Chains A and B, each alone.
Chain A
Amino acid sequence: GAVVSQHPSWVICKSGTSVKIECRSLDFQATTMFWYRQFPKQSLMLMATSNEGSKATYEQGVEKDKFLINHASLTLSTLTVTSAHPEDSSFYICSARTSGKRGGTQYFGPGTRLTVL
């Protein structure tokens, strides 16, 4: 149980184009999903919290107009990197939180490697 998928697993795009990454909770409903970014040999950094039916909450320093998040259903959140540039190249990982009395556990997707040429 608690499986999270991400699509695509990798993507290469030209500078200036937009890229959409999907995150799905396959066997549970998630009112809250999270998007993280991981640079090579570094830790995960929280970018934003995605809430079903409401606006995402972005961490300080993350441009919300550049990283558009939509959480349209209880099993799907999308991250769109708009007008991508080479510095946006990174590994993007989503997680979905299970529900629970005192807070759920986050289960992670397999990640998406984005390369911007």
Chain B
Amino acid sequence: AQTVTQSQPEMSVQEAETVTLSCTYDTSESDYYLFWYKQPPSRQMILVIRQEAYKQQNATENRFSVNFQKAAKSFSLKISDSQLGDAAMYFCAYRSPYSGGGADGLTFGKGTHLIIQP
């Protein structure tokens, strides 16, 4: 079974600064998908960014980018120019490439609570 580890329960950053959230995972599969989701106080899960393991290029979405290190099984999220609206729980998630039998459900890490200081 795959596991996802987020070792930072809480992170704090000044507004407009850059912060990096860590995520490591364990899998024996060679192809898979990785995601970062954001959960603000409303508890609505919002997709931040997605990475396919077969792609060497790191995914980028505006101020959000990832550092995907496949050999190290590391998938960190960098948020540049932090804004007050970025304050939320951030969850790293893994998805197997296979379908059926629950295999394509997401395995989540425990989350990192991101605080933005004005």
Task: Show the binding face of A for B, using Cβ within 8 Å.
Answer: 32, 34, 36, 38, 42-46, 48-49, 57-59, 91, 93, 95, 97, 102-103, 105-108, 110-111
Contact = CB atoms under 8 A, between A and B. Distances in A.
Which secondary structure characterizes the binding site on chain B? Answer: loop
A44 B91 CA distance: 9
Contact of B109 (A34, A43, A102): A43
Contacts of B111: 43
Given A103-B33, A110-B42, A110-B43, A34 B100 contact: no
Contacts of A38: 43
B105 A93 contact: no
Interface stretch (B12-20, B44-52, B64-72): B44-52
Q: How large is the interface on B (under 10, 10 to 19, 20 to 34, 35 or more residues)?
A: 20 to 34
B105 A34 contact: yes
A58 B101 CA distance: 8
Contacts, number: 63
Contact of A57 (B46, B91, B97, B102): B102
A46 B45 contact: no
Nearest to A97: B104
B115 interface: no
16 contacts: A34-B105, A42-B110, A43-B91, A43-B111, A44-B45, A44-B106, A45-B108, A49-B100, A49-B105, A57-B100, A105-B47, A105-B50, A106-B95, A106-B106, A108-B44, A110-B43
Interface in B34-83: 35, 37, 42-47, 50, 52
B24 interface: no
Nearest to B43: A111
A25 to B, nearest CB: 15
A99 to B, nearest CB: 11
